[in-house]
Structure 1
Amino acid sequence: MASTEGLVPITRAFLASYYDKYPFPPLSDDVSRLYSDMASLIQLLALQSPPSQGEASLIEEANREPPHKIDENMWKNREQMEEILFLLQPSRWPVQLREPCTSEDAELSSTLRHLKDNFDKALTAMISFQSKNSERIFSTVMTYMPQDFRGTLIRQQKERSERNKQAEVDARRQLAQLGSATGVYKTLVKYLVGVPQVLLDFIRQINDDDGPMEEQRERYGPHLYNLTKMVTAIRVSLTLLWERYDTFKLNKNQMNLLSEAVIVYTSEFERFITFISDVFANSPFFISADTAGTLGSRENEEYKEIIVQAGRTYEVSLMVESENSYIAWDFSLVQGKISMDIGFCVEYISASGEKTLILPYHRYEADQGNFSTLMAGNYKLVWDNSYSTFFKKTLRYKVDCIPPVVEPTN
């Protein structure tokens, strides 16, 4: 386990300075021009024959703004590429293209094969990016994790997550939803105690609305959003065209438009993915406190000590604001020569003051644990020394309330 002493999570200010060194050369002007032309082609196809319910949903999607987060856009692009490659399989072509009788149909058939090659190459680049980025994040987390059961559990969870994602791809589901799927970080909060504080801080802060990743979205998001819109337009165009090919044939200009749109999109997407891969690969998760301007320890990270007198109890109250938050604790008794234990339980306090025992009373010398709360409200952690007649006990403890956390997305 690597030392985290003196480290703090990346800040938005730090990323702003870091990204200054990585300006993205703007997308080609052809992207906006071709997107506009593809939108006009979609309108023309929709006028040719009223869209079905499924087609109307696709058109509506093409008219919506792309998701805000980088990762969700990546999955959206992958989803559209998968769907386009499905449409570009010769077995999915209109029969006139599978068995061309005219020179125009033969020319389009040849063009489609080349366009499929373009998308195959772009999809391969996308899959490689997602795999390497996921592994980089996971490796960073594991570097700072205690080398005990938590590491094994998180590794098992990652393997399950990857299998589930691949199953979604194989089942041709809505891949864009995977961009906001939970993952290793969600599992991490289930095993909080003993995890370095800097890693927990990173999890809390990374997806804040004005957190570090927002700087990334503002810098690079608009370029990716335009690519997302363009690939969606290509998919919708092909979907509508295949259903209307017996009554609507692309003229030479429209055929060139489709070809140019695919070539420009795949080229610009590969350029973007290569660039952002380099940015991500060199971007740190943690920086020194000096760099972040946050020198000095924070009180809420320190253990506290309290003497629990014989015949008394000691309580710590916590307010839980969000459902499915976690209450985490780490406590031990400062031992002398005589082995000692102390009673411990967790209670929920309703608005009317009624107490509900949510963690049964037990006696410990020390404990590291957590409890996933079922509802928002007031909770009490209670250490009980009331059964002791003579011995006061020095309790060393740290407790925290961790809000629900999902896998950080860009």
Structure 2
Amino acid sequence: MVSSSKGGGLVPITRAFLSSYYDKHHFPPVSDDVSRISQQLHNLSNNLRNTSLPLPQGERLLLKEVESQPPHKIDENMWKNREQIEEIIFLLESSHWPITLQKQSTPEDVELARLLRKLKAKFEGILKIVESFQSKSSENVFNTVMTYMPQDFRGALIRKQRERSERNKKAAVDALVNSGGSIRERYALLWHQQMERRRQLAQLGSAAGVYKTVVKYLVGVPQVLLDFVRQINDDQGPMEEQRHRYGPPMYALTKMVLNIRLFLSLSWWRYDDVKLQKQQISLLEEAVDAYTSELERFLSFIAEVFANSPFFVTAEEAGAIEANKNDYREESIPAGTTYEVSLEVESVNSYIAWDFSIAQGKISMDIGFSIEYTNPMGQKTLILPYRRYNSDQGNFCTVMAGNYKLIWDNSFSTFFRKALRYKVDCIPPVVEPEEEETETI
């Protein structure tokens, strides 16, 4: 941690710096089971609502959310996952089961009740992990910012003001709950409070409004800190790189937890008419296992990445990274087309390396990628089988000279062009210098 006395010569992290930092922290894609099971649950939900009965208001709102794109911001997705986990725990409470199931009058109902308690315990466990992640992340940001604040009574005053503000926010949430507010309403308030914290930070950074007085009062606050809090939430600021790199797995998990809740909610609604089949129950159990394990893996990874990511770097370091970022190329690949990079490799034991990503907008994007080899006779061999990625890094050692083609495939897309950012290197083999023969006298 850098102390405030060392604030000189530092600049806030830039998007280019975060790109360089995240290059060293590649998150393996979430399991293919996530998208597969999400789609299967969605299909089952469609079957359950294929009835002349109109959907209840809550289920209509949930269905609209399932069929919409997840939020763009990673932390908003985190709140959305936490909300859905609580909603699912609510549905899995025995008092909220269908009346027929609560009676447990058949062996099948007894077995299903046992499984539901097991699933509820899994969701309660992952809820604690999400809450802990959010709490630690918030404390880490605040404590880092406080490192740059004056280390006297003024810093103590800021801490007291924050504690008072957080108590007031908690009191507002408690009042909503005590008045009968729903889980949905509670999380809408929690997200509003989160955005209010950001607004206050932005005002502090720009010294606007009442915060002019605060900034004047806090003589000694480094300008670099004010610059940081002003730009940190810009739509195209440093955090956009974070969303670009780590948004796709979060979006997939948000989709999955929404589909789990929708399936459970519709199953309870139609329980007396459409009994859950064994394969549907097995799919539900598989979905919960995949979701909780993948979310825990993602949170464990991202917590370490965020904890070790600095807020500030030296101006020289930022400049060097900006100068090197042009090593990457960008290519716009229209829908229905492919883009290729061809490499002529003259020596075996050369290394071909690649690093690419697809820019994320509000719609999660991926692209097909494969590598093929063509020998001098024109015969082709698949080196890396086709698979769809949001981003990927890799390399391999060539065993044959000839032409190697890296292929990005957007032919499956009907409407969306893909913004590809990539770097490809062909590194020749290292030849050890021959030892010079010594002359004999």
Whether TM exceeds 0.5 here: the answer is: yes
Q: Deviation digits for residues 43-69 of structure 1, max 9, x if unmatched? A: 112124320122111110111111111
SS of 2:50's partner is helix
- Aligned counterpart in structure 2 of residue 11 of structure 1, from 3, 11, 14: 14
Give, in whole Å, the separation in 1 of the partners of 2:152 and 2:135: 25
Give, in whole Å, the separation in 2 of the partners of 1:78 and 1:289: 38
Q: Does 1:274 pair with 2:290?
A: no
- Of stretches 101-110 and 57-66 in structure 1, the one that deviates more from structure 2 is 101-110
- Aligned counterpart in structure 1 of residue 195 of structure 2, from 178, 181, 185: 181
Match of 2:108?
104
- Aligned counterpart in structure 2 of residue 253 of structure 1, from 255, 279, 302: 279
Deviation at 1:89, TM superposition (A): 1.2
- Of stretches 20-29 and 150-159 in structure 1, the one that deviates more from structure 2 is 150-159
Give, in whole Å, the separation in 2 of the partners of 1:68 and 1:152: 35
Q: Cα gap change, 1:266/1:167 in structure 2, threshold over 3 Å: closer, same or farther?
A: farther
Q: Does 1:287 pair with 2:313?
A: yes
- Aligned counterpart in structure 2 of residue 2 of structure 1, from 4, 7, 11: 4
Larger radius of gyration: 1
SS of 1:192's partner is helix
Please give the residue correspondences for 1:351-370 in structure 2 after superposition, counting only pairs within 5 Å: none
Give, in whole Å, the separation in 1 of the partners of 2:237 and 2:284: 39
CA contact (8 A) 1:72 1:177 kept: no
Give, in whole Å, the separation in 2 of the partners of 1:29 and 1:248: 29
Q: Cα gap change, 1:209/1:186 in structure 2, threshold over 3 Å: closer, same or farther?
A: closer
Q: Deviation digits for residues 331-363 of structure 1, max 9, x if unmatched? A: xxxxxxxxxxxxxxxxxxxxxxxxxxxxxxxxx
Give, in whole Å, the separation in 2 of the partners of 1:138 and 1:5: 20
Match of 2:143?
139
Please give the residue correspondences for 1:224-263 in structure 2 after superposition, counting only pairs within 5 Å: 224-263=250-289
Give, in whole Å, the separation in 2 of the partners of 1:229 and 1:272: 15
Give, in whole Å, the separation in 1 of the partners of 2:170 and 2:40: 34
Please give the residue correspondences for 1:8-407 in structure 2 after superposition, counting only pairs within 5 Å: 8-48=11-51, 49-148=53-152, 150-163=154-167, 166=170, 171=177, 172=183, 173-175=185-187, 178-179=190-191, 180-183=194-197, 185=201, 188-189=204-205, 190=211, 191-193=214-216, 194=219, 195-293=221-319
Amino acid at match of 1:69: K
Deviation at 1:161, TM superposition (A): 4.4
- Of stretches 116-125 and 1-10 in structure 1, the one that deviates more from structure 2 is 1-10
Q: Cα gap change, 1:177/1:213 in structure 2, threshold over 3 Å: closer, same or farther?
A: farther
Q: Deviation digits for residues 118-166 of structure 1, max 9, x if unmatched? A: 1111111101101100000000111101235643443234324433554
Give, in whole Å, the separation in 2 of the partners of 1:232 and 1:258: 13
Q: Cα gap change, 1:167/1:66 in structure 2, threshold over 3 Å: closer, same or farther?
A: farther
Q: Cα gap change, 1:168/1:108 in structure 2, threshold over 3 Å: closer, same or farther?
A: farther
Gaps spanning 5+ residues in structure 1: where?
Answer: 295-410
RMSD: 2.1
Percent of residue pairs bearing the same amino acid type: 59
Q: Cα gap change, 1:161/1:251 in structure 2, threshold over 3 Å: closer, same or farther?
A: farther
